[in-house]
Amino acid sequence: MSLFDWFANRRKSDPISKEHQVREIADGLWTKCEACGVLTYTKDLKANQMVCLDCDHHLRVYSDERIQQLIDPDTWQPLDEDLWPCDPLQFRDRKAYCDRLRETQDKIGLPDAVQTGLGRLDTLPIALGVMDFRFMGGSMGSVVGEKLTRMIERATQDQIPVVIVCASGGARMQEGMLSLMQMAKISAALQYHRESRLLYIPVLSHPTTGGVTASFAMLGDVILAEPKATIGFAGRRVVEQTLREKLPDNFQTAEYLLNHGFVDAIVSRTQLKKTLAQLIRLHQPHFSRLREAPAAVV
Protein backbone atom coordinates (compact mmCIF):
# COMPACT_ATOMS: atom_id res chain seq x y z
CA MET A 1 0.00 0.00 0.00
CA SER A 2 1.36 3.39 -0.99
CA LEU A 3 1.53 6.36 1.38
CA PHE A 4 -1.14 8.13 -0.71
CA ASP A 5 -3.52 5.14 -0.39
CA TRP A 6 -2.89 5.00 3.36
CA PHE A 7 -3.90 8.68 3.80
CA ALA A 8 -6.93 8.19 1.53
CA ASN A 9 -8.15 5.23 3.60
CA ARG A 10 -7.52 7.15 6.82
CA ARG A 11 -9.70 10.05 5.59
CA LYS A 12 -12.52 7.62 4.81
CA SER A 13 -12.40 6.14 8.31
CA ASP A 14 -11.75 9.46 10.08
CA PRO A 15 -14.38 9.91 12.82
CA ILE A 16 -14.45 13.69 12.15
CA SER A 17 -16.38 13.18 8.94
CA LYS A 18 -18.64 15.53 7.03
CA GLU A 19 -21.65 13.91 8.68
CA HIS A 20 -20.14 14.61 12.10
CA GLN A 21 -19.50 18.26 11.18
CA VAL A 22 -23.09 18.68 9.98
CA ARG A 23 -24.36 17.19 13.24
CA GLU A 24 -22.28 19.67 15.25
CA ILE A 25 -23.78 22.58 13.31
CA ALA A 26 -27.26 21.17 13.78
CA ASP A 27 -26.66 20.88 17.50
CA GLY A 28 -26.36 24.66 17.67
CA LEU A 29 -22.63 25.14 18.06
CA TRP A 30 -22.50 27.28 14.92
CA THR A 31 -25.05 29.53 13.25
CA LYS A 32 -25.09 30.38 9.56
CA CYS A 33 -25.93 33.98 8.65
CA GLU A 34 -28.97 34.20 6.39
CA ALA A 35 -27.49 37.17 4.50
CA CYS A 36 -23.79 36.48 3.95
CA GLY A 37 -23.61 32.76 4.69
CA VAL A 38 -20.77 33.08 7.21
CA LEU A 39 -20.68 30.52 10.02
CA THR A 40 -20.33 32.12 13.44
CA TYR A 41 -19.84 30.49 16.81
CA THR A 42 -23.30 30.71 18.38
CA LYS A 43 -21.98 31.95 21.74
CA ASP A 44 -20.24 34.85 20.02
CA LEU A 45 -23.39 35.61 18.03
CA LYS A 46 -25.55 35.65 21.16
CA ALA A 47 -23.03 37.90 22.88
CA ASN A 48 -23.56 40.31 19.97
CA GLN A 49 -27.36 40.02 20.38
CA MET A 50 -27.77 37.84 17.28
CA VAL A 51 -26.30 40.45 14.95
CA CYS A 52 -23.89 38.99 12.39
CA LEU A 53 -20.31 39.94 13.19
CA ASP A 54 -19.38 39.90 9.50
CA CYS A 55 -22.19 41.77 7.70
CA ASP A 56 -24.28 43.28 10.55
CA HIS A 57 -27.37 41.31 9.48
CA HIS A 58 -29.96 41.11 12.27
CA LEU A 59 -30.99 37.50 12.78
CA ARG A 60 -34.46 36.94 14.18
CA VAL A 61 -34.75 36.75 17.96
CA TYR A 62 -37.78 35.87 20.06
CA SER A 63 -39.50 37.22 23.13
CA ASP A 64 -37.38 35.58 25.84
CA GLU A 65 -34.16 36.83 24.23
CA ARG A 66 -35.61 40.32 23.74
CA ILE A 67 -36.53 40.58 27.40
CA GLN A 68 -33.02 39.53 28.41
CA GLN A 69 -31.50 42.08 26.03
CA LEU A 70 -33.59 45.02 27.23
CA ILE A 71 -34.49 44.42 30.88
CA ASP A 72 -32.02 44.64 33.75
CA PRO A 73 -31.37 41.29 35.49
CA ASP A 74 -33.83 40.26 38.22
CA THR A 75 -36.24 43.14 37.52
CA TRP A 76 -38.74 41.47 35.15
CA GLN A 77 -42.30 41.08 36.47
CA PRO A 78 -44.59 39.30 33.97
CA LEU A 79 -48.18 40.46 33.62
CA ASP A 80 -51.32 38.43 32.86
CA GLU A 81 -49.62 35.09 32.35
CA ASP A 82 -52.94 33.38 33.08
CA LEU A 83 -54.60 34.67 29.88
CA TRP A 84 -55.01 31.85 27.34
CA PRO A 85 -56.73 32.00 23.94
CA CYS A 86 -59.93 30.14 23.10
CA ASP A 87 -61.75 29.30 19.88
CA PRO A 88 -64.90 31.49 19.87
CA LEU A 89 -65.68 30.90 16.16
CA GLN A 90 -64.95 27.15 16.14
CA PHE A 91 -62.69 27.97 13.19
CA ARG A 92 -61.28 25.22 11.01
CA ASP A 93 -59.19 25.25 7.84
CA ARG A 94 -56.90 22.29 7.17
CA LYS A 95 -56.79 21.87 10.94
CA ALA A 96 -58.98 23.01 13.81
CA TYR A 97 -57.86 26.31 15.35
CA CYS A 98 -57.92 24.82 18.86
CA ASP A 99 -55.51 22.10 17.70
CA ARG A 100 -53.19 24.68 16.14
CA LEU A 101 -53.16 26.62 19.40
CA ARG A 102 -52.37 23.53 21.45
CA GLU A 103 -49.56 22.42 19.16
CA THR A 104 -47.95 25.86 19.08
CA GLN A 105 -48.21 26.28 22.85
CA ASP A 106 -46.56 22.91 23.42
CA LYS A 107 -43.84 23.66 20.89
CA ILE A 108 -42.68 27.08 22.13
CA GLY A 109 -43.94 27.14 25.72
CA LEU A 110 -45.98 30.34 25.47
CA PRO A 111 -49.78 30.75 25.78
CA ASP A 112 -49.94 33.29 22.94
CA ALA A 113 -47.92 35.60 20.69
CA VAL A 114 -46.89 38.27 23.20
CA GLN A 115 -45.18 38.59 26.57
CA THR A 116 -45.91 41.65 28.69
CA GLY A 117 -44.50 42.84 31.98
CA LEU A 118 -42.86 45.52 34.07
CA GLY A 119 -39.14 45.92 34.53
CA ARG A 120 -36.21 48.27 34.54
CA LEU A 121 -34.28 49.31 31.46
CA ASP A 122 -30.92 50.71 32.52
CA THR A 123 -32.50 51.32 35.99
CA LEU A 124 -35.50 53.13 34.41
CA PRO A 125 -38.96 51.65 35.12
CA ILE A 126 -40.89 50.71 31.97
CA ALA A 127 -43.76 48.54 30.77
CA LEU A 128 -42.57 46.22 28.01
CA GLY A 129 -44.52 44.14 25.50
CA VAL A 130 -42.64 41.77 23.20
CA MET A 131 -44.35 39.96 20.32
CA ASP A 132 -43.12 36.49 19.39
CA PHE A 133 -43.16 35.55 15.69
CA ARG A 134 -42.92 31.84 16.48
CA PHE A 135 -46.53 31.83 17.68
CA MET A 136 -48.57 31.68 14.48
CA GLY A 137 -46.50 34.42 12.85
CA GLY A 138 -46.93 36.77 15.80
CA SER A 139 -50.56 37.22 14.79
CA MET A 140 -52.72 39.50 16.93
CA GLY A 141 -55.69 37.73 18.46
CA SER A 142 -57.89 38.53 21.45
CA VAL A 143 -55.28 37.55 24.04
CA VAL A 144 -52.54 39.64 22.39
CA GLY A 145 -54.85 42.66 22.33
CA GLU A 146 -56.02 42.15 25.90
CA LYS A 147 -52.52 41.69 27.32
CA LEU A 148 -51.16 44.77 25.55
CA THR A 149 -54.17 46.85 26.60
CA ARG A 150 -53.86 45.82 30.24
CA MET A 151 -50.12 46.53 30.17
CA ILE A 152 -50.69 50.03 28.75
CA GLU A 153 -53.39 50.74 31.33
CA ARG A 154 -51.04 49.59 34.10
CA ALA A 155 -48.31 51.86 32.73
CA THR A 156 -50.74 54.79 32.69
CA GLN A 157 -51.69 54.06 36.28
CA ASP A 158 -48.03 53.77 37.37
CA GLN A 159 -46.99 56.79 35.25
CA ILE A 160 -44.23 54.96 33.37
CA PRO A 161 -43.25 54.70 29.67
CA VAL A 162 -44.38 51.90 27.36
CA VAL A 163 -42.12 50.06 24.90
CA ILE A 164 -43.57 47.46 22.50
CA VAL A 165 -41.32 45.33 20.29
CA CYS A 166 -43.44 44.47 17.24
CA ALA A 167 -43.00 41.32 15.15
CA SER A 168 -46.21 40.23 13.48
CA GLY A 169 -47.93 39.18 10.30
CA GLY A 170 -51.05 41.11 11.37
CA ALA A 171 -54.44 40.24 12.82
CA ARG A 172 -55.28 36.57 13.41
CA MET A 173 -57.79 35.43 10.81
CA GLN A 174 -58.97 32.47 12.93
CA GLU A 175 -60.63 34.93 15.33
CA GLY A 176 -62.22 37.09 12.63
CA MET A 177 -63.71 40.40 13.77
CA LEU A 178 -62.61 39.77 17.35
CA SER A 179 -58.97 40.12 16.29
CA LEU A 180 -59.67 43.32 14.34
CA MET A 181 -61.32 44.83 17.43
CA GLN A 182 -57.96 44.66 19.21
CA MET A 183 -56.62 47.40 16.91
CA ALA A 184 -59.13 49.92 18.27
CA LYS A 185 -58.83 48.68 21.86
CA ILE A 186 -55.05 49.03 22.03
CA SER A 187 -55.16 52.39 20.22
CA ALA A 188 -57.69 53.71 22.75
CA ALA A 189 -55.49 52.64 25.66
CA LEU A 190 -52.52 54.39 24.05
CA GLN A 191 -54.56 57.58 23.68
CA TYR A 192 -55.24 57.66 27.44
CA HIS A 193 -51.55 57.00 28.00
CA ARG A 194 -50.67 59.93 25.73
CA GLU A 195 -53.17 62.24 27.45
CA SER A 196 -51.27 61.54 30.68
CA ARG A 197 -48.18 62.94 28.90
CA LEU A 198 -46.39 59.60 29.04
CA LEU A 199 -43.93 58.21 26.50
CA TYR A 200 -44.67 55.34 24.11
CA ILE A 201 -41.98 53.88 21.84
CA PRO A 202 -42.68 51.05 19.39
CA VAL A 203 -39.71 49.09 18.05
CA LEU A 204 -40.46 47.63 14.61
CA SER A 205 -38.58 44.41 13.94
CA HIS A 206 -38.74 41.99 11.01
CA PRO A 207 -41.51 41.65 10.01
CA THR A 208 -44.16 44.16 11.17
CA THR A 209 -47.18 44.04 8.88
CA GLY A 210 -50.97 44.01 8.63
CA GLY A 211 -53.22 45.15 11.46
CA VAL A 212 -50.30 45.67 13.84
CA THR A 213 -48.77 48.24 11.47
CA ALA A 214 -52.22 49.78 10.97
CA SER A 215 -52.63 50.37 14.71
CA PHE A 216 -50.24 50.51 17.65
CA ALA A 217 -46.99 50.01 15.69
CA MET A 218 -47.39 53.44 14.08
CA LEU A 219 -48.80 55.37 17.06
CA GLY A 220 -45.53 55.96 18.91
CA ASP A 221 -44.15 59.28 20.08
CA VAL A 222 -40.84 58.06 18.64
CA ILE A 223 -40.91 55.12 16.20
CA LEU A 224 -37.75 53.01 16.02
CA ALA A 225 -36.97 50.20 13.58
CA GLU A 226 -34.25 47.60 13.18
CA PRO A 227 -32.09 47.68 10.03
CA LYS A 228 -33.67 46.12 6.92
CA ALA A 229 -36.84 45.13 8.77
CA THR A 230 -39.88 44.53 6.56
CA ILE A 231 -42.61 46.99 7.56
CA GLY A 232 -45.90 47.44 5.75
CA PHE A 233 -49.62 46.79 5.63
CA ALA A 234 -50.55 44.76 2.54
CA GLY A 235 -48.05 42.49 0.84
CA ARG A 236 -45.82 43.71 -1.95
CA ARG A 237 -47.64 41.71 -4.63
CA VAL A 238 -51.05 43.05 -3.54
CA VAL A 239 -49.77 46.65 -3.66
CA GLU A 240 -48.26 46.15 -7.12
CA GLN A 241 -51.47 44.65 -8.45
CA THR A 242 -53.54 47.46 -6.94
CA LEU A 243 -51.32 50.30 -8.20
CA ARG A 244 -50.44 48.48 -11.44
CA GLU A 245 -46.87 49.67 -11.31
CA LYS A 246 -43.47 48.28 -10.37
CA LEU A 247 -42.36 49.08 -6.83
CA PRO A 248 -38.78 49.93 -5.77
CA ASP A 249 -36.58 47.04 -4.67
CA ASN A 250 -36.32 48.44 -1.13
CA PHE A 251 -40.08 49.03 -0.81
CA GLN A 252 -41.43 48.27 2.70
CA THR A 253 -38.00 48.17 4.27
CA ALA A 254 -37.09 50.19 7.35
CA GLU A 255 -34.74 52.33 5.25
CA TYR A 256 -37.49 53.12 2.72
CA LEU A 257 -39.90 54.12 5.50
CA LEU A 258 -37.25 56.29 7.15
CA ASN A 259 -36.73 58.20 3.89
CA HIS A 260 -40.49 58.75 3.60
CA GLY A 261 -41.07 59.88 7.18
CA PHE A 262 -42.86 56.84 8.61
CA VAL A 263 -39.99 55.89 10.95
CA ASP A 264 -38.00 58.27 13.15
CA ALA A 265 -34.77 56.28 13.43
CA ILE A 266 -33.17 52.98 12.50
CA VAL A 267 -31.28 51.57 15.47
CA SER A 268 -29.00 48.55 15.54
CA ARG A 269 -30.04 45.94 18.08
CA THR A 270 -26.70 46.30 19.83
CA GLN A 271 -27.52 49.97 20.50
CA LEU A 272 -31.23 49.58 21.19
CA LYS A 273 -31.16 49.47 24.98
CA LYS A 274 -28.85 52.47 25.15
CA THR A 275 -31.03 54.44 22.70
CA LEU A 276 -34.24 53.65 24.57
CA ALA A 277 -32.66 54.72 27.85
CA GLN A 278 -31.54 58.03 26.31
CA LEU A 279 -35.01 58.74 24.91
CA ILE A 280 -36.70 57.96 28.22
CA ARG A 281 -34.27 60.15 30.15
CA LEU A 282 -34.77 63.02 27.70
CA HIS A 283 -38.53 62.75 28.18
CA GLN A 284 -38.58 62.41 31.97
CA PRO A 285 -37.33 65.91 32.95
CA HIS A 286 -39.97 67.49 30.71
CA PHE A 287 -42.67 65.28 32.20
CA SER A 288 -41.52 66.08 35.76
CA ARG A 289 -41.76 69.84 35.15
CA LEU A 290 -45.24 69.48 33.70
CA ARG A 291 -46.40 67.38 36.63
CA GLU A 292 -44.99 69.81 39.22
CA ALA A 293 -46.19 72.99 37.47
CA PRO A 294 -49.06 74.79 39.28
CA ALA A 295 -52.45 74.76 37.61
CA ALA A 296 -53.28 77.81 35.53
CA VAL A 297 -55.64 80.33 37.10
CA VAL A 298 -58.60 81.15 34.89
Q: Note whether 214 and 186 are within 8 A (CB).
A: no
Alpha-carbon span 34 to 289, nearest angstrom: 48
Alpha-carbon span 231 to 154, nearest angstrom: 28
Q: Residue 213's closest CA among 172, 149, 169?
A: 169
In tens, the pLDDT along 181-220 reads 999 999 999 999 999 999 999 999 999 999 999 999 999 9
Dump the DSSP string for 251-275.
Answer: TTBHHHHHHTTS-SEE--HHHHHHH
* β-pairing verdict for 77-78 and 114-121: antiparallel
**Would you state the pLDDT for residue 25?**
52
CATH number, domain of 81, equals: 3.90.226.10
Q: What mean pLDDT is reported for the chain?
A: 89
Radius of gyration of the chain measured on its C-alpha atoms: 23
In a domain, 109, yes or no: yes
- Give how far the C-alpha of residue 229 lies from the chain's centroid of Cα atoms, to the nearest Å: 10
Alpha-carbon span 31 to 153, nearest angstrom: 40
Asked if the model's pLDDT at residue 42 lies above 70, the reply is yes
In a domain, 273, yes or no: yes
- Kindly state the percentage of the chain with pLDDT values over 90: 78
In a domain, 22, yes or no: no
Number of domains composing the chain: 1
In a domain, 21, yes or no: no
Measure the CA angle with vertex 117, ends 167 and 210; round to 5°: 20
Q: Note whether 41 and 29 are within 8 A (CB).
A: yes
**Would you state the pLDDT for residue 95?**
92
Full residue range of the structural domain in which residue 229 is found = 62-291
Instruction: Specify the pTM.
Output: 0.86
Q: Note whether 223 and 248 are within 8 A (CB).
A: no
DSSP 8-state symbol, 9: H
Q: Note whether 121 and 276 are within 8 A (CB).
A: yes
In a domain, 4, yes or no: no
Alpha-carbon span 247 to 269, nearest angstrom: 28
* β-pairing verdict for 200-208 and 39-41: unpaired
In a domain, 23, yes or no: no
Asked if the model's pLDDT at residue 10 lies above 80, the reply is no
**Would you state the pLDDT for residue 284?**
78
Alpha-carbon span 118 to 237, nearest angstrom: 39
Asked if the model's pLDDT at residue 289 lies above 60, the reply is no
Alpha-carbon span 28 to 37, nearest angstrom: 16
In tens, the pLDDT along 100-148 reads 999 999 999 999 999 999 999 999 999 999 999 999 999 999 999 999 9
In a domain, 33, yes or no: no
Query: What would the mean pLDDT of 242-267 be, rounded to a whole number?
Result: 94
**Would you state the pLDDT for residue 154?**
97
In a domain, 157, yes or no: yes
Query: What would the mean pLDDT of 80-97 be, rounded to a whole number?
Result: 93
Assign 5 a pLDDT band (cuts: 50, 70, 90): low
Asked if the model's pLDDT at residue 254 lies above 90, the reply is yes
Strands (DSSP E) found in 170-279: 200-208, 224-225, 265-266
